[in-house]
Structure 1
Amino acid sequence: MAKKPVTSRSGRFFKLAGMTASVAGQYAGQRARRMFGQEQDEAARSEHYSRMAGQLVDTLGELKGAVMKVGQIASQTQDFLPQEFSDALQKLQKEAPPMPFDVIVGQVEAELGRPLGELFEYLQEEPYAAASIGQVHRARMHSGEDVIVKVQYPGVDDSCDSDLKQLRMALRLGGLLKMPKDHVDQLFAEIRVRLKEELDYENEARNLEAFQEFHKNDEWIRIPRVIVSHSARRVLTMELLEGDHISAITPERYSQATINLIGHRIFTMMADQLFRFQCIHGDPHAGNFAYRPDGTIILYDFGCVKKLKHEIVEAYRKALVSALAEDYAALDRHLIDLGARVESQPAVDEAYYAMWRDILVKPFNSDTPYNFAESDIHKHVAAKTTTVFKYLDYFKPPVESIFIDRMIAGHYWMMKRLGVQAAFREELETYLGSNAG
C-alpha cells in the first residue's frame, strides 16, 4: 500500500523543517564532540555523515518533487557535497515508490477537464515508471492507440521554491555545502530554472517536437510523438515507444558488435546535440533511454533540456582541444571563459590539470577500442577529490555548462553498464575540428 503523499505546501514545509532541524542538531553535536577531542577519526566522521545522508535521502524520496530532483543532480555533481551524501543520493536515481492511483486519476481529470472514462479506454493502475516529479501510466485511447500518460504529482510545482529554500538550509546548517555562498546562489538559481521548465509539461511537449525535428534524419533515434488533445501543463500523453531497459541488454539478444554500435550512436547523439544543436537532453539516466536489438536508441523525458549559449559551447570545445593537446595555459583561459575558473585567482599549477587530464582522457587517448565495462575512471576521480580542497578558491560551479558535465557523466555510466568497446578519438576530433572558428 503506497503511503499517502504529502502534497500541501505546509505539510512539505514541516516535513523538510523537521529534517533540517535534525541534520543541524547532529552537525552541532559532532562539532561539540570535536571541540572536546572526541570523534576525531575519519571512520567515525564518515559514519556520522552516512547517518545524516540516510535521513536526507529518506525524506527527499518520500516528498519527491524539487528536493528529490536536486538530490539527483547533487549526486552527479562533483564537490557539491561530501562523498557519503553523493553516495546516498545515488539511491534517488532509482525509480521512486509510486503515488496512489486515486491521486493520479484525480490529477488527470482535473488537468484534462473530463472523466477518465471519456478520455481513455483504460488507464493502467500499475505505473509504467515512477520518478521525482511525476509518474507514467500505460493507457489506450478510444481510437485503439496504445499510449503512455505522464502525470505530475500534485503540489510539486506550487512548493518548488519553498522546497529548494528548505533543502538549501538543511545542507547549510548541516555544514555540508563546500562552496562559497555566491557559488551556491548560482548553482541553486540554475537548478530552479531547469526545475520550473521541467514542471511545465507543455514546455516538454515543445522540447519533444524540437528534438524530433533535429534528429529527423537519424533513423536510429526514436522520440515519442505527443498526443496534443490529451496533454496539458501537468499531464502529457505520448505514443507508446517500447524498447529494452539497459538491464535487459543481454548477450543472448545483443551481440558485442551491436552494443559497440549503440555506443558509437550514443557518442554521435551527444556530440550532435552539444556542438550542432547546442541544446542537450539534460537528464541522462538509465530510465530515460531504451534500446532495440537493431541498434535503435529511444529517448524519453524531455523535461530537463538545456539550451546552450554559443560562446559556452565554443569555450567548452576549446577547453577540450587544449586538454587533448596538453596546452594547460590555454586550458586555464578557456575554463575562465566557461565560468568554471575564478578569473581573479592566479593560474592553476599545470601539474594539477595534467593529473585530471590523464584520468579523464583515457577513452580518447588512442585508436584502440576502450573497454568501458572495465573502466575505473570514476574510481580514479573519487581518489583525487581531496586534491580539490587545495584549489577550492580557484574554481566555481560552471553554471552554464553543469548540464554538459551531467550529460557526459550520465552517458559514461550507461556505456559502462552496456559494456561498450569503442574508440572515439577520431570522432571527437571531427567534432572539435568542424567547429573551429
Structure 2
Amino acid sequence: MTNDKDSKPRKSRVTPVSRTRRFFKLAGMTASVAGNYAGQKIRRQFTDEQTHDEQKAESYDKMAARIVDTLGELKGAVMKVGQVASQTQDFLPKEFSKALQRLQKEAPPMDFDVIAKQIEEELGASHKSLFATFDEEPYAAASIGQVHRATTREGQDVIVKVQYPGVGGSVDSDLKQLRLALKLGGLLKMPKESVDQLFAEIRARLVEELDYENEARNVDLFRGFHKDEPKVLIPAVLPGLSSRRVLTMEYVAGDHVSEVTTERYYQTIINEIGELLFRTMADQLFRFKAIHGDPHAGNFAFRPDGTLIIYDFGCVKKLKPEIVEAYRKSVNAALAEDYAALDRFMIDLGVRVEEMPAVDEAYYALWRDIIIQPFSDETYDFKSGDVHLKVAAKSNTVFKHLASFKPPVETLFIDRMIAGHYWIMKGLGVQAAFKPLLDQYLKTESS
C-alpha cells in the first residue's frame, strides 16, 4: 500500500481482463521470450565471447521489456510476482531485476464502477450507505487492488483497500505461464527443485495476500509485536467494514521516503528513524520470527518527530526457529571471519549443499567484505553507499558456485527484507554505525 497522498493516479481507467484474454496475452509473451532465446542460441555459434555477451544483454533487455509490459497490463498475480522478483537478484539476470522495478510504480486504476460493485458484493451494501464520504478517485492503485480515501459514518478517516475481481481465480494459470516463459527464455538460473520450491512459496504467499481477512490477522499480530514501541505505528483494521476482499483501516498519514529531506528533517532525526527501522527489522527476524514480506518504499512512511509507519501486511513470512538460529550463527561466523564455521552453518541453514566439497574461503571472504560495510564500527553513510554496485559487480561469481548452493525459500525472504531496508535507508540518507546494535541481536540464542 502506498502512502503517497500528493500523487493520486491520473492515468486512464482500465477494466478487468477476462481469463481467456489473460491466457492469450501470457501465451504471446511466452512465445516472444522463447523466440528471443532461440535466436540468441543460434547466434552464439557464430560470434566471439565479447559479441555474444553484448548480444545476450540486448536479448535480455528485449525479453524483459516484453515481460514487464505484459505483466503491467494484466495486473493480478503475475504483476505481483514481477514486483517480488524486482527486489531479489537470486534467480533472474540483472537486466530483468532492473526492468521489473518498473512494476513497483503505481498501476493504472480500475474503473470505479467495478470497485463499487466489488464493495457491495463483499460488504452487502453500497459504499454510499456504508460510508459518510468515499473518494472515487483512487488514493493508490497497485497489482491486486486499489485504495480509496473515505470517512466512516462516525466521522473517522479511513482508507479502503478493494481487491480487483477475478484476481484469485487466475493465480495458478498466471504462475504457470510466467514460469514457462522464464524457463523457455533460459532465465531461471536455479535447479528445478529450487524453482519448484520458490514458485510453491510464491503461490502460498499470493494466496495469503489475496485473503484480506488473513491480512487483518497479520495487522493485529504485528501491532502486538510493536506495542511497546511508541514511534512505530501500524494502522488498525475496522472489522465491521472489512471482508475477504475489502479491507478498511484507519488513515495514518506520513511522508514518503522521497519527502524525507534535510530541509524538512534534521539529520539526527533521520538517523533515529534509521535505527528504529533496523531494530524493527531485527526484532521481527530474531525475536518474533515473522517478517514483513513486502519491504518496498511505498509500504513505509515517516514523520519529522521520528515516527515510523508500516503499511500492508498481506505478505508475512513466518520463520522456523532453527532457520533463525542457523542464520544468527552464520552471521556471527562471517563477522569473525571464521569461514570453516560459516560453511558448516550454511549447511545447517540449508543454503549450502552438504554433499558438495567445502566452498573456497576466498569466496566467502569476498561477499563478507562487501555485505559487512554498513555494519562496521564506523559510521556508514547510506546515501553514498555502494554495496549494491559491488554486489552487482561480483554477481558473476555466484554462477560459478551454483552447484554448491541451494538457498531455501526462508533465506530468500530474509535477503529480500534486508535488501528492501537497505534501499529505504539509502533513500532516507541514514548515517549510522549499526555494529553495536547488531551485536545485541547476535550474542544470544533465539528463544
Q: Normalised by the shorter chain, which TM-score bucket? A: over 0.9
- What are the Cα deviations for residues 375-418 of structure 1, in whole angstroms up to 9, with x where unaligned? 00000000000011211111123212211111100000000010
Output the amino acid matched with 2:185: G
Q: 1:23 is matched with which residue: 3, 20, 33?
A: 33
- What are the Cα deviations for residues 218-238 of structure 1, in whole angstroms up to 9, with x where unaligned? 000001111101100010000
Structure 2 CA distance for aligned equivalents of residues 149 and 256 of structure 1: 34
Secondary structure in 2 matching 1:236: strand
Secondary structure in 1 matching 2:147: strand
Show the 5 A alignment for 1:17-56.
Answer: 17-37=27-47, 40-56=51-67
Q: CA deviation at 1:164?
A: 0.5
Structure 2 CA distance for aligned equivalents of residues 3 and 129 of structure 1: 13
Q: Which moved more, 1:72-81 or 1:2-11?
A: 2-11
Structure 1 CA distance for aligned equivalents of residues 272 and 25 of structure 2: 47
Paired position in structure 2 for 1:371: 381
Structure 1 CA distance for aligned equivalents of residues 275 and 295 of structure 2: 16
Secondary structure in 1 matching 2:404: coil
1:388 and 2:398 aligned? yes
Q: 1:398 is matched with which residue: 408, 419, 432?
A: 408
Q: 2:423 is matched with which residue: 413, 421, 424?
A: 413
Structure 2 CA distance for aligned equivalents of residues 27 and 42 of structure 1: 13
Q: CA deviation at 1:64?
A: 1.3
Show the 5 A alignment for 1:199-278.
Answer: 199-278=210-289
Q: CA deviation at 1:154?
A: 1.3
Q: Is the 8 A contact 1:339 1:399 kept in 2?
A: no
Structure 1 CA distance for aligned equivalents of residues 386 and 229 of structure 2: 32
Structure 2 CA distance for aligned equivalents of residues 62 and 125 of structure 1: 22
Aligned residues: 436
Show the 5 A alignment for 1:23-422.
Answer: 23-37=33-47, 40-366=51-377, 368-422=378-432
Q: Which moved more, 1:210-219 or 1:394-403?
A: 394-403
Unaligned runs of 5+ in 2: 1-10
Q: Is the 8 A contact 1:127 1:138 kept in 2?
A: yes
Structure 2 CA distance for aligned equivalents of residues 162 and 346 of structure 1: 39
Secondary structure in 2 matching 1:148: strand
Structure 1 CA distance for aligned equivalents of residues 260 and 419 of structure 2: 20
Paired position in structure 1 for 2:17: 7
Q: Is the 8 A contact 2:16 2:110 kept in 1?
A: no
Output the amino acid matched with 2:127: L
Q: Is the 8 A contact 2:321 2:446 kept in 1?
A: no
Q: CA deviation at 1:37?
A: 4.1
Structure 2 CA distance for aligned equivalents of residues 412 and 247 of structure 1: 15
Structure 2 CA distance for aligned equivalents of residues 402 and 388 of structure 1: 15
Structure 2 CA distance for aligned equivalents of residues 86 and 213 of structure 1: 34
Q: Is the 8 A contact 2:236 2:249 kept in 1?
A: yes
Q: CA deviation at 1:66?
A: 1.4
Q: Is the 8 A contact 1:226 1:238 kept in 2?
A: yes
Structure 2 CA distance for aligned equivalents of residues 162 and 93 of structure 1: 22
- What are the Cα deviations for residues 128-178 of structure 1, in whole angstroms up to 9, with x where unaligned? 112221111101111111100011111111111111010000000111111
Structure 2 CA distance for aligned equivalents of residues 342 and 154 of structure 1: 43
Output the amino acid matched with 2:163: Q
Q: Which moved more, 1:243-252 or 1:290-299?
A: 243-252
Secondary structure in 2 matching 1:41: helix
Q: Is the 8 A contact 2:261 2:428 kept in 1?
A: no
Distance verdict in 2 for CA 1:140–1:187, change over 3 Å? same
Structure 2 CA distance for aligned equivalents of residues 290 and 302 of structure 1: 14
Unaligned runs of 5+ in 1: none
How high is the sequence identity, in percent, across the aligned residues?
A: 67
Q: Is the 8 A contact 2:218 2:316 kept in 1?
A: yes
Structure 1 CA distance for aligned equivalents of residues 341 and 259 of structure 2: 44
Q: CA deviation at 1:91?
A: 1.0
Q: Which moved more, 1:290-299 or 1:72-81?
A: 72-81
- What are the Cα deviations for residues 175-214 of structure 1, in whole angstroms up to 9, with x where unaligned? 1111111111011111111111111000000000011111
Secondary structure in 1 matching 2:325: helix
Q: Is the 8 A contact 1:5 1:99 kept in 2?
A: yes
Q: Is the 8 A contact 1:79 1:385 kept in 2?
A: no
Q: Is the 8 A contact 1:187 1:397 kept in 2?
A: no
Q: Is the 8 A contact 2:194 2:408 kept in 1?
A: no
Q: Is the 8 A contact 1:194 1:304 kept in 2?
A: yes
Structure 2 CA distance for aligned equivalents of residues 92 and 17 of structure 1: 20
Q: CA deviation at 1:3?
A: 4.9
Paired position in structure 2 for 1:430: 440
Output the amino acid matched with 2:124: G
Query: TM-score, normalized by length of structure 1?
Result: 0.97
Query: TM-score, normalized by length of structure 2?
Result: 0.95
Structure 1 CA distance for aligned equivalents of residues 416 and 118 of structure 2: 31
Output the amino acid matched with 1:148: I
Structure 2 CA distance for aligned equivalents of residues 221 and 177 of structure 1: 38
Over the residues paired in the alignment, what is the CA RMSD in angstroms? 1.4
Q: Is the 8 A contact 2:91 2:188 kept in 1?
A: yes
